Structure 1
Amino acid sequence: MENAALLHALVHNAIDGIITIDDFGTIESINPSACKLFDYTEVEVIGNNISMLMLSDDQESHNQHLEDYKTTGQAHIIGIGRELTGRKKAGNQFPFKLGVSEVNYAGRRIYAGFIHDLTQQKANEEQLKKYASHLEELVEQRTKILNKTIKDLEKAKAKVSVTLEKEKHLSTLKNRFLSMASHEFRTPLSTAHLSASLIEKYAEPIANANIIRHAGKIINAVNNLTTVLNDFLYIEQLEVGIVPVKLSCFDLVKLAEEITEEMQLLANGEQHIQFTHYGEQRLINLDKNLIKNCVINLITNAIKYSKDHSTIVFTTEITDHHCTISVQDEGIGIPEEDKKYLFQPFFRAQNTGNIPGTGLGLNIVARYITLMEGTISYSSTLNIGTLFTLKFSLK
């Protein structure tokens, strides 16, 4: 009795539907899950043929399978799961999986059908199919776009290659011209400078102010043009990579004093260059010529962009770990919007006005500092002045 009660409880509470029929397909029992699936009550189903729960096509095949099994003993549906379409009381259809087992009980055959609802599974499968189809469409679209992009990139690459070749050729021509101009113009400029200096000297005994003034203008113009040519020459050398760093041990203070004396002669009006060295150490191991070029460039800019009655502060400092060189002026300063372009070649700040220059100096300085593995920084306030700082690590 206990076993029978347990079996009844298992069937009654099973998640899947369970229906038993006899040899003729008559329903003998149905559990609550099956009643819920087909929307029938137990009373409405028991005693009726199982075909009431199937579509017409499935009715015929199911009855035929039963007849064939009784006649031949060969099972076609017994023990084999298959998918069918169920028909609810209201005529609604739903997919389910049917598993049939044969049970010999009290000298007769009973067939138990185990029904698993596939509605949600089919809905999920359909959703997955739609999603897969959508993904295929997206992949196809993206593939087309990608192929078009690749073709466009190939065309662009070809155009860029042609453009690069042209740029390379123009760059070569430019470098050749700069090299030729820097060398070929140097001799006549030196002659013009010498002749103007001699004219100025010869005019002194006769005290002709006009001759002296015009000779001075010629000398200044020649000096400016020589500076421009030198900048072009330095840029050309940097572009072709022929600026080697020649490290040597030298007295930085002595070099700085020489530069100060030399640049003071070129200062405007009452401008004063004030040099100060901090620290007891004087010797450093860097490229002397590149250091000199950088400092001269910075002091030249300080002279050029500062008023006649201003002080240019030039300082050096050597510690155990670093060498620092700075040049501070009381000049026009750098506009905030121009600071990000300051070290680009041929760039000049918008407030330089008619002050002559090529816009190459700071670019050359920055590249020289990089060659020596140093850093360049600055701070500037408009109409107050600018401080440039060069810093090198002493390894």
Structure 2
Amino acid sequence: MPFSGTHAEGQLQALIGTAVDGIMSIDRRGIVDLYNPACERIFGWAPGEVIGRNVSMLMPPRYAHRHDGFLERYIETGDARIIGIGREVEGLRKDGSEFPMDLSVGEFETGGDRRFVGIVRDLTERVAAERRLRELQAQLSHMGRVSAVAEMGTALAHELNQPLTAIALFLAASDKALESDPAKARSLFARAQQESQRAGDIVRRIRQMVERGDDERRDIDLADLITGAAELCSVADVDGRTAIDISRAQSRITIHADATQIRQVLVNLIRNAMDATAGQGNRTVRVRTRLREDMTEIDVEDNGPGIDPQVRPRLFSPFVTSKKDGLGIGLSICRTIAESHGGSLELLDEPEPGALSGARFRLALPMS
């Protein structure tokens, strides 16, 4: 695009030449006639290699062959897919590598001809930083799950030892009865098999809790997650005196989430509620769900003494805990997980009719 020696045009030329973002212009046929230095830094092509050629050379092949058709359709119908909107797309560098970029396209007219100007911003560093942040969050989340299982380690080992001991006893008894009473031996074998399934279920729940997960979100049944989390926490309840009531958790609620991470949040909330009621006679933890507009609310409440007022303001801060051997990262991680799913996690202050008298946490998640 030529510039005259006027003051305004000189300013425009300086602005385009020094802009951090790439600026280019094309005619109605897609031919490039403006290509600033930032474009050269972003794409790797020199101006002389691009000006006069079709802009599709800066696009991955799967998009390039469709570009002219999009441009023609817009000129004929006015149907804008990207013009005046802006969006994240992929560009193609001179070395053949693809990269994410933000593209804003505008339209103008000069000399009776329609032209289009595009502003390009390279998003490579931002996308890489976001990916790294997700990886770090996943690692922290995994550390939190391992920590939670470690805190329950003694109880889980005790619970797992029970079916293993029973299996050994049943097999020894069936060996003695094998010749004298085959029917009794078969019955003992069946009971040993039941105990092995019980042991397998315990191991499966532990594995689900500590596995790294695939960091993929899919439609999952919320009731299944709540049931699994309650079962794992029940296994870790050594004296079996805590009643975990999930009867008010509605079935057939589907959420779009990472099952491993949401299971982690539920286990942490239920375990915290169980710890809060330790040492008292009547120990109750209740999980209930409700639908509110496009969100699902999961309340985890207990009949313990509630949260210490001095701890409440810092409750979701890292390394804040009232547990003797706790790391204090559980609730912090749980809130991060909830927010990364577009939801929230909060401690409710206001009493509610029918709620238990202790602490009440609310996990809100978007419905599928």
Sort the TM-score into its range (normalised by shorter chain): 0.3 to 0.5
Name the TM-score, length of structure 1 as normaliser. Answer: 0.38
Structure showing the higher helix proportion among its residues: 1
Question: Whose radius of gyration is greater, 1 or 2?
Answer: 1
Name the TM-score, length of structure 2 as normaliser. Answer: 0.41
Bigger relative contact order (CA 8 A; separation at least 6): 2
